[in-house]
């Protein structure tokens, strides 16, 4: 199971890096800028999580495969940008899988370090979404998690399910599988049925 999680983690890193590279390319950044945006999109969430938990060295420093996967993603984006656009559904599926894996790894790591369950869920969510938030901030866009779709909420529910199952000593492999499914299913259903959290209506806002 650990090997499967590791492979899914690398796939998620690859897809997140491609999304960052595409975003940077649309903003007409140079090659260095594209690499930086791809990098923070792919591993930024994990780095922020590790800094907050004072866990060193950071996730990618222990395994340079993450660096090579990110560079490969940038190379693939430059060569096949148009073709990648035609694979939007496939990319979305892998992106969603990566979201689930990053949530799982974040919650698990915080739990092993002895953090409170609430903090564990927050760390899992940060692992999943903060790379995308950093990407959007650096490219001057409103982060997707603040304006549409059930995104961070799916990660939080996945994190909660992991902790609940872990509390009842459910087999680790089953726990991992259920946690991933919770995040993936919620994300897919939210997009399919256009579900989103409520927003504050303009007429409820005070006027100057």
Report the number of distinct structural domains present in the chain.
1
169 part of a folded domain: yes
What residues contact residue 19 under an 8 Å CB cut-off, 6+ apart?
A: 41, 91, 95, 132, 135
Taking CA atoms, 7 is separated from 53, 54, 94, 129, 152, in Å, by: 24, 26, 12, 20, 23
Whether residue 205 is contained in a domain is answered as no
| 153-201: pLDDT as tens digits | 999 999 999 999 999 999 999 999 999 999 999 999 988 888 887 777 7
Alpha-carbon dihedral angle through residues 17, 103, 10, 165, given to the nearest 10 degrees: -170
**Position 207 in a domain:** no
Domain contains 204? no
Host domain of residue 7: 2-197
Residue 9 placed within a domain: yes
pTM of the predicted structure, to 2 decimals: 0.89
């Amino acid at each position: 199971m650990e090997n499967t999680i590791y492979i899914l983690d690398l796939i998620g890193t690859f897809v997140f890096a491609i999304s960052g590279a595409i975003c940077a390319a649309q903003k007409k950044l140079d090659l260095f800028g594209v690499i930086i945006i791809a990098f923070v999109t792919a591993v930024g969430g994990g780095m922020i999580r590790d800094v907050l938990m004072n866990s060193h060295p950071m996730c990618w420093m222990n395994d340079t495969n993450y660096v090579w996967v990110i560079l490969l993603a940038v190379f693939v984006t430059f060569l096949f940008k148009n073709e990648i656009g035609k694979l939007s559904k496939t990319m979305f599926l892998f992106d969603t899988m990566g979201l689930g894996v990053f949530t799982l790894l974040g919650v698990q790591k915080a739990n092993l370090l002895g953090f409170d369950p609430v903090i564990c869920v927050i760390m899992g969510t940060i692992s999943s979404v903060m790379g995308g938030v950093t990407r959007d901030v650096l490219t001057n866009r409103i982060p997707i998690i603040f304006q549409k779709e059930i995104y961070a909420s799916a990660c939080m529910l996945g994190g909660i399910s992991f902790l609940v199952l872990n509390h009842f000593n459910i087999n680790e492999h089953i726990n991992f599988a259920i946690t991933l499914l919770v995040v993936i299913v919620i994300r897919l259903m939210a997009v399919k049925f256009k579900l989103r959290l409520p927003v504050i209506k303009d007429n409820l806002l005070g006027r100057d």
